[in-house]
Every structure is written in structure tokens, then in C-alpha cells.
Chain A
Amino acid sequence: MNMSNKTLNKISSFFLNLKSQPMTVVLFLCASFSVIILFLMLFFVAREGALAFSQFGSDLFFGMQWDLESNLFGGFPLLYGSLMVTFGALIIAIPVGVCTAIFVSEVLPFYLRDPIKSIIELLASIPSVIYGFIGLLVVVPFIASTFGIVSGQTALTSSLILSIMTIPTIVSVSGEIISAVPKNYKEAALGLGATKWETIKSVVLPISKSGILASIMLGFGRAVGETIAVSMISGNQAHVASSYLDAVYTIPSFIAIHMGEAPVGSVEYSALFGLGLILLIITFIVNTLADIVVKRGVQP
């Protein structure tokens, strides 16, 4: 009896495995898809940029001048401009976004939560060209008159507009994470006589911090890659800006504006791809750093 049971089990598990095998293959293929796409993108951008990298090497990162006639392809001012604008945007978007997320998912009365959330998410779906218009129409003159400068097309202007574009991402992703904190953990603090704020500080935020960080990463990706809106309001001057009231040029705007004029296969063409690769590398580094922080943060 025992013996035959065992054999039966073996046979049935064998067939079960066989049955689940095709599904495993399908799932594996689906999972590999995005990984393959990522590597293909890296590969093509690197292949097109290889010419420029072989000729100018680290100059693409650190060279100060971009001048076709003198055959100079220095990307530093652009890299600097991109990082400056993104940093400025996050400085504004992180506190505002996270606070909004806490407010919407913990403080606001229940019947208002969903409507307010949808309105904030609507902000994320506005085409970036429109943000560029608003920037030109409202923020540029405002910055010019507030600081008494000739042109309001500055790094600060771009950071402001970018922060508005980034906030919805941070709010909706962090908001979901914060709402998902299990009730029994909140009750632990409340049951000890903690106020709502003490509960948020000691339970809700520590539990959701890795999710909040992920939302910030998504926001970073949006800000660092934004092209059109920024190119309309940043002034587009390839120099190392001395302050946030200076005009800047970011990598994406620079690529977008120059790609059309660069003959395919030329050095300039390749250098623009090189810049794109730099952008990719930055996002990879930032994402990896965030991953490490998240993993370290899992253990409270």
C-alpha cells in the first residue's frame, strides 16, 4: 500500500511538472523580454556612439567645449546642466510630493481621497509641450521680473516646471505604498496612545520608505529625460552655469535640437549618441544606488 502510493506520487508529480513546463517557458520569455530590450538599447546606443568615444574618450564627459569647426565635442556643460536642473527639480518635488502623498492617503477624509488622487494623476498625463507653454507664458516672465534679470529662461525656471511634472509621479506611487501599510501596524502605535502624526512618523514612513524611494527614482527618470519642456525654457546655452539664474542646456534638449542637422554616420552624429549613452549611464547608476539603499533599508 505504502509502496504503491509512493510510485503513484512520483508519476503524478512527473506529469504535473510536464504540464507546468510550457507555462514556465512562456513566463520566462515574457520576463526576458524587457531585459533583452534594455540590452539591445544599450547596445545600439553604444554602437552608434563608439566612433565618438574612440576619438574623444573621456572628453565627451569632461570636455568644456562643443564646437563642430574645431572638432571639439565636450559634453561637460550639458551633463552639468542636466544634473543641475534635475537636482533642483527633485529638491522641490521630493518634499512637496511626499508630503502630498501623506496628506492624501492618511489625513484627507475618505470621500475626498480618490477625487484628489485622480486630479493629481491628471497632471501626469498633460503633454510636456503644454508644460513648456505654461513655462514660457507664466514662469519665464515671473522669474525675470522677480529676480530682475533680462531673460527668465534659467535653470531655476526649468527646475520649477520639472518639479511640477515630477510631483504627480511621486504622489501617486508613494500614495499607493502609504495606503498599503497594514492596518495592524498603525494600530500598534495608536493603541499605545500615539497621535496620528507620531503614527505616521514611527510606523507608516519607515514601512513605506523603500516604496517612496522607488517613486523618487521614477521622478528622477522623468526629470532627467525630459526634453521638450526643458528646451523651451532653459535658455539652451552650453556653458557651465554659475547659478540657478543662468541659462543652461541639458543633454536631452541638446540631442533633440542637434540630431536633425547631424549627417548620419558623422562624428557629430556619433557624439550625440555618446551623450545619450552618458544619460543612460547616469540613470543606471542612480537606480543601482537606490536599489542598494532600498535593500539596506528593508531591515529596520
Chain B
Amino acid sequence: MSQDDKIDIRQLNIWFGEKHVIRGVDLKIKANAVTAIMGPSGCGKSTMLRAFNRMNDVIKSSKTTGDIFIGGKNIYDNNTNVYDLRRQVGMVFQKPNPLPKSIYENVAFGPKIHKMAKGKDLDKIVEKSLRAAALWDEVNDRLNDSAFDLSGGQQQRLCIARALAVDPEVILMDEPCSALDPAATAKIEQLIRILSTDYTVVIVTHNMQQASRVSDYTVFLYLGKVIEKGGTKAIFENPQHELTEQYITGEFG
């Protein structure tokens, strides 16, 4: 397993209108590992995550300065193709958001728009992605059913399969279990562990137990600044910063 840095963030600042949400973040994120970004609500963790695939661009009032290198390439460079970037950097959202299509079409959507495969090859990609998301056995006999017929947990795994189908290098997860019950959460967490062997996973969570269960590295974000970062075990057992300790012991959050 390579331990190289996959994402390199330098002096990242993000504003929404007048609000300075991310304040000068420098951070390196390891390849083929799970990095958890945790912190209290409103600390900017989702905003930071959405900077990695430039989803903040969609919000008109947002302004971003600084650089983010992913695989050595600056994604905030002027000639970055955001559509291609979002293929390389997949995203799983807080609430399961399948497209209003069949299960098959949901997974096939990405490969289709990026013209990656057709016919039999596409079928193979769909099967492979659904297997990778541990959903194949539950849906292989009803691929043409509406994705809305699935349970919440299944929908979220479908969203993961959909992200995997375009062959990404990085997978961003924005509190992927916040809308799920404990059993579905356990399945997703197990999946995240497995995914980290092939992908760089960054997960945002305000659930500390989740961060400690699934991640190799943890970043503690507070009011738009990185307060502490390091191995998950080290942070949870021996936090260096007072704020981190207060957060972990539940004094605020």
C-alpha cells in the first residue's frame, strides 16, 4: 500500500459572500487510506470537501483562493476541466440522491456521459461497480426497477456504486450515513474500509465514533482552520490540542 500524498492543499481560503468559511488551510491527504474530517457543525468541513471536486463552483457567491493538487495536478488551474475532475474525484452526498432512473441506469449514467463504454462493456462496469458497493446480490434480479424502490441504505450504496462506475481515484463522502439507521451505517462503514485499498477516501463526519472506526487519519477542523491532524489512533488517544480534546470528550459539538 502506497503512502504517498494524494491531495495537497495549500493556503486554501473559501468565502461565501462576506463569510470567510475556510481560513488558510494547509493539508496533505494520504493516498489509499481513509481520512476523516471532523468538527462541529458549521466548521466548514463540507465546504472543504466540496473544494476537492470544485462543487463549490456551483454556488454563485463562493470564492476560492489557494491551490489544491490532486495527483500532482492543480485543480484550481485555469485550464482544469471540471467535468473530468469530477470523474476522477467522485462524491457521495449526505442524503442518498439516486437519479430518477432505474438501478442500472443510475450506475451507467457516469460511464455514459463520459463515453467510457457501451453495450456489454457497460453491463460489465455496472456489475463490477454494484459488486464493489456490496449491492449486487441484493439487486441483480431487478436492475430495471426504479432506484427509488430501494431502501435508504441500499440507495446510498447505489450512490457509491454510481461514483465507482466512472473509475475515480478519490472518493469524497459528505456525512454519508447521517440519514441511515445503525444497520445500514455499519454496512457503509465496512464498505468504506474495503474501498480504501483501491481508492483515496475522504469522509466528512461529525460522528466521532464513526471517524475513529473507519479512518486511518483524522483532521480536526474548527471555525475554518485545521486545529489538529494525524493518525486517527493518536488523535483520539492523545490529542495535542486543547480544543481537540474538548471536542473528543464531548464538551462541545
Contacts and interface: CB of A to CB of B under 8 A. Distances in A.
A207 B99 CA distance: 9
A110 B58 CA distance: 12
A206 interface: yes
A185 B163 contact: no
Contacts of A110: 60
Given A188-B159, A191-B53, A206 B101 contact: yes
**Residue among A110, A192, A194, A206 with most chain B CB within 10 A:** A192
Given A188-B97, A207-B100, A202 B109 contact: yes
Contacts of B109: 189, 192, 194, 202
A300 B86 contact: no
Given A187-B93, A198-B113, A299-B146, A193 B87 contact: yes
B93 A192 contact: no
A300 B103 CA distance: 11
Interface string B129-148: 00000000000000000111
A207 B60 CA distance: 23
A13 interface: no
Interface residues of B, number: 32
Interface residues on A, range: 10 to 19
Given A202-B99, A206-B101, A191 B113 contact: no
A192 B87 contact: yes
B184 interface: no
A206 B98 CA distance: 13
A195 interface: yes
A2 to B, nearest CB: 29
6 contacts: A185-B99, A188-B159, A191-B93, A192-B86, A192-B90, A193-B86
Interface of B: 53, 55, 58, 60, 82-87, 90-91, 93-95, 97-102, 109-110, 113-114, 146-148, 159, 162-163, 166
